[in-house]
Amino acid sequence: MITASIHNISKKYGDISAIKGISLDINKGELLSILGPSGCGKSTLLYSVAGLEKPQEGEIKLNERLLFSSYNNIFIAPEKRNIGLVFQNYALWPHMNIFKNIAYPLTIKKENKKVIKQKVLDILNLVGLSGKEKKYPHQLSGGEQQRAAVARGIIMNPDILLLDEPFSNLDAKLRERMQDELKRIQKYTKLTMIHVTHDQEEAMRISDRIAIMNSGNLLQVGNPDEIYNYPKDVFVAGFIGKSNLLSYDIINYYLTEDYINKIINKKKTNTILVRPEDICITNSDKNIIRGIITDKFNKGSVFLYSVKTKANEFLIQTDNTSNYPLNSNVSITIKKGCYI
């Protein structure tokens, strides 16, 4: 079932086209991440759904209700959309304690005080902030403030929760913990979420699906496996994970056509993507490419090598038992790849 439907949305700021005719459906209960480099239009798209930006063209529906239509001249005000929002910079009110901050969306709706209290206490428990209700935002850590912001975003049971780079101000360890927490909250509440990030590892870790953007365009939508294993183009391949992008001719220079056909699906294009972990250093003498290790990084559980061969350079990732010194002569073999 589709919760939100974005259809042919375009937004310009003066001469700058921030979004160029994007269409995207968000399924009920899924966490969809919009992923792309800084300035590619992620926030503009999210704010168009929230009603904080008004696109020049397109339509946005939430549970079949038209929130925006340039064709029918409809624009529902943000506070009437029943959407929860979480920003990068927490955006809690400094003069209100955590209870009042979280209760705010219900207070302005003039909900019954007892109901409000019970809801706030429940949600504090859900986000792991029980007992902190009397604290003020400045008395909480960054992670706790962002938990409070999430609590405020979901307390009025929104039809969708929108999160704009919610964890990018947190240090790496805490960021991972908050990502897992968000996933847990999503599973528990079954809320539909659109999450904006420029961090591909974050998107891979928590998303049901990822929508990749660049320069105002939507390039590919798919689950993390699809995006990683079958990127649609060179940009997506390079943006998600590390990659070796090779022309067919280069690979064919080293390897027979038969072997290439065995490890790579039917020929479609002239560019082949091989992930670093799909190349290994081998003792075999069949289907190998010879080279020399020109660079080496010890990443703890894995090694990353640059191996210079006759016609190019390969990035290779091995487990930490394949420990070779710099300048070693090695034979490498490609295990799999795909055409893009």
Ligand X SMILES: Nc1ncnc2c1ncn2[C@@H]1O[C@H](COP(=O)(O)OP(=O)(O)O)[C@@H](O)[C@H]1O
Binding site for ligand X (CB under 6 A): 13, 16, 18, 36, 38-44
Name the binder of 318 from ligand X, Mg ion, none, CB < 5-8 A by kind. none
Edge-to-edge strands, sheet with 209-214: 83-86, 160-164, 193-197, 31-35, 209-214, 217-222
Please give the helix or strand (H or E) that residue 43 lies within, else none: helix 42-50
Smallest distance from the beta carbon of 199 to ligand X, in angstroms? 12
**Cβ closest to Mg ion, residue 12 vs residue 117:** 12
Q: For the range 302-307, what are the long-range contacts, defined as Cβ-Cβ under 8 Å and sequence gap of 24 or more? A: 302/277, 304/242, 304/276, 305/281, 307/332
Smallest distance from the beta carbon of 23 to ligand X, in angstroms? 17
Residue least distant from Mg ion (Cβ): 43
**Cβ closest to Mg ion, residue 43 vs residue 101:** 43
**Cβ closest to ligand X, residue 16 vs residue 108:** 16
Token reading at 240: 């998600």
What's the CA gap between 145 and 143, in Å, rounded? 5
**Cβ closest to Mg ion, residue 163 vs residue 178:** 163
Residue 2: which of 209, 231, 196, 216 has the closest Cα?
209
Smallest distance from the beta carbon of 34 to ligand X, in angstroms? 8
**Cβ closest to ligand X, residue 18 vs residue 103:** 18
Smallest distance from the beta carbon of 12 to Mg ion, in angstroms? 17
**Cβ closest to Mg ion, residue 88 vs residue 317:** 88
- Neighbouring C-alpha atoms within 13 Å toward the C-beta of 250: 16
Residue type, 231: P
Name the binder of 16 from ligand X, Mg ion, none, CB < 5-8 A by kind. ligand X
**131-152 burial by CB neighbour count: b if 16+ within 10 A, else e?**
ebbebebeebeebbbbbbbbbb
Name the binder of 78 from Mg ion, ligand X, none, CB < 5-8 A by kind. none
User: Residue 22 forms beta bridges with which residues?
Assistant: 9
Name the binder of 13 from ligand X, Mg ion, none, CB < 5-8 A by kind. ligand X
Smallest distance from the beta carbon of 125 to ligand X, in angstroms? 33
- Neighbouring C-alpha atoms within 13 Å toward the C-beta of 105: 23
Name the binder of 41 from ligand X, Mg ion, none, CB < 5-8 A by kind. ligand X
Smallest distance from the beta carbon of 186 to Mg ion, in angstroms? 21
Binding site for Mg ion (CB under 5 A): 43
The bridge status of strand 193-197 relative to strand 31-35 is parallel
Name the binder of 18 from ligand X, Mg ion, none, CB < 5-8 A by kind. ligand X
Name the binder of 73 from Mg ion, ligand X, none, CB < 5-8 A by kind. none
**Cβ closest to ligand X, residue 38 vs residue 301:** 38
What DSSP designation does 216 have?
T
Smallest distance from the beta carbon of 43 to Mg ion, in angstroms? 3
**Cβ closest to ligand X, residue 197 vs residue 318:** 197
3-state secondary structure of 317: strand
Name the binder of 24 from ligand X, Mg ion, none, CB < 5-8 A by kind. none
Smallest distance from the beta carbon of 42 to Mg ion, in angstroms? 5
| Cβ–Cβ < 8 Å for 242, 258 | no
